[in-house]
Amino acid sequence: MQLILASASPARLEVLRNAGVDVVAMPAQVDEDVVLSKLTSATPAEKVRKLAEVKALDLLGSARKDTIHAQIGSFGVEEEQDAVYILGCDSMFEFEGNVYGKPHTAENAVALFNKLTGKSGVLHTGMALICAQSYTDTSQEMRSRTVSAVVNFAQMTDAEIAQYVDTGEPLEVAGGFAIDGRGGAFIESIQGDYSAIVGVSVNALREMLKEYHEDIANFWTP
Amino acid sequence: MQLILASASPARLEVLRNAGVDVVAMPAQVDEDVVLSKLTSATPAEKVRKLAEVKALDLLGSARKDTIHAQIGSFGVEEEQDAVYILGCDSMFEFEGNVYGKPHTAENAVALFNKLTGKSGVLHTGMALICAQSYTDTSQEMRSRTVSAVVNFAQMTDAEIAQYVDTGEPLEVAGGFAIDGRGGAFIESIQGDYSAIVGVSVNALREMLKEYHEDIANFWTP
């Protein structure tokens, strides 16, 4: 068995590895803006699911079975007969009807936290799983879903907002907070799947693998 | 500023370090059974809070200011004038009115998961924070609280229970599941503070520090 994460996110890779899942990361090359331009009327939950599907398919299409196996070989996996699964993921943060991406600048981050303080938002994570060997253009067999979770932010003082933004951590995180980093100190509670908030739901991965008649245990490191 | 965690739990240490908190661990020497024997009518939430207080006080009592400073010195902290805080923690898992500790044996773990599958339990984490310099037997100034969070377990097949128990991970974890390990695959969602489920709430630590007029940012690693 081999799982390939079609994502460059270190946080996602860490979630899966902390959960004992043996995984390699091979980022997909997808122009998200082009995909999203065709989904203008979709909800955030639909958008992340579609983007996850496009990412997984992109990796499958650009790599295909032989290439994937060659690439996996370089990561030390020898048994060519093992099934290869590709997991695409995408996340969006929704707050009061708007979607917030990465703040990029300290100014944007401060403005965002001034809105979020003491309130709740929703983190949507789309996931798509393809079995590389059995997928064909005619079978088009893919499993996908969105896992959404509520994030309840603590009241932050102006000093706390400034201190957190100063760390630089929020600038390149969707929604501006890293629940698995310093940002965790400002999250009072959640309702939903914690790992989905970080970017990939381990429970959803287990369930999707089951639909392919695979146990997640077969992907655990020894 | 220096924070000492009065706990031997690697999971707690990792939660705090992942949240950027600079902390050293110095386990307290407390006979929990003796403490609990005086709390027979207390709720689990009250018990973990009391145990957290006893652990923090034990470390303060056994070490006291000078010794603590000497010990901290060996960890590389030089500025003796900085405030030293001691954090005690204790966690219990409650399910259908009973408290479950570490399963210890595979047999116990399988029996426990057969109960938990598809149901919900509550993880209680007690936390107590003392400022070593300002605490005296007469001031008895201490902050403490319990953070409780609901854990919703996925439906587990017999095979999944056997596979998870085989990893050995559940045997020495209160309640038998490590949400921050392979066990995360079998937790559908939570309601509450994720880090409290792992064993120490970063948000509660931030709030308790505030009661001492300290910002958590002062405890962040650079």
Going by C-alpha positions, the residue among B108, B7, B104, B17 that lies closest to residue B48 is: B7
Name the packing angle between helices B158-166 and B106-116 (round to 10°). 140
Smallest CA–CA distance, residue B3 to chain A, in Å, is 15
pLDDT value at residue A69 = 58
* List of domains in chain A: 2-219 (3.90.950.10)
**Contacts of residue A118, Cβ cutoff 8 Å, sequence gap at least 6:** A153, A154, A155, A156
**B180 is a catalytic site residue:** no
pLDDT value at residue A214 = 95
Chain B residues touching A189 at Cβ < 8 A: 149, 191-193
**Contacts of residue B48, Cβ cutoff 8 Å, sequence gap at least 6:** B90, B91, B92, B124, B125, B126, B146
Per DSSP bridges, beta strands B120-131 and B143-153 are antiparallel
User: Is residue A152 helix, strand or coil?
Assistant: strand
Residue in the block written with tokens 């060996």? B74
pLDDT value at residue B67 = 56
Whether A19 and B195 lie within 8 Å, measured CB to CB: no
Going by C-alpha positions, the residue among A19, A208, A32, A62 that lies closest to residue B182 is: A19
Going by C-alpha positions, the residue among A156, A132, A160, A7 that lies closest to residue A68 is: A132
**How big is the A-B interface in CB pairs under 8 Å?**
102
User: Is residue A67 helix, strand or coil?
Assistant: helix
End-to-end CA distance of chain B: 13
Chain B residues touching A160 at Cβ < 8 A: 215-217
Q: Which amino acid is at B23?
A: V
Q: Which of B58, B82, B90, B193 is catalytic?
A: B90
pLDDT value at residue B79 = 47
Task: Please return the burial class of B109, using the count of CB atoms within 10 Å of its CB with bins 0-12, 13-18 and 19+.
Answer: buried
Going by C-alpha positions, the residue among A150, A138, A125, A137 that lies closest to residue A208 is: A125
Reported ipTM: 0.91
Element (H, E) at A62: helix A44-74
Mean pLDDT by 10 residues, chain B (222 residues): 92 96 94 94 97 94 61 52 88 95 95 97 97 83 96 98 97 92 98 98 98 96 92
Task: Please return the burial class of A184, using the count of CB atoms within 10 Å of its CB with bins 0-12, 13-18 and 19+.
Answer: buried
Distance (Å, rounded) from C-alpha B155 to C-alpha B220?
Answer: 39
Query: pLDDT tens, position by position, for chain A (222 residues)?
Result: 899 999 989 999 999 999 999 999 999 999 999 999 999 999 999 999 999 999 999 998 876 555 555 655 555 544 455 789 999 999 999 999 999 989 999 999 999 999 999 999 999 999 999 998 888 878 888 999 999 999 999 999 999 999 999 999 999 998 999 999 999 999 999 999 999 999 999 999 999 999 999 999 999 998
% of chain B surpassing 70 pLDDT: 91
In this structure, the number of other CB atoms found within 10 A of the CB of residue A109 comes to 24
**A contact set with B (CB within 8 A):** 18-20, 149, 154, 159-160, 163-164, 166-167, 179-182, 184-195, 202-203, 205-207, 215-217, 220
Distance (Å, rounded) from C-alpha A194 to C-alpha B205?
Answer: 19
Q: Taking the model in full, what pTM does it have?
A: 0.91
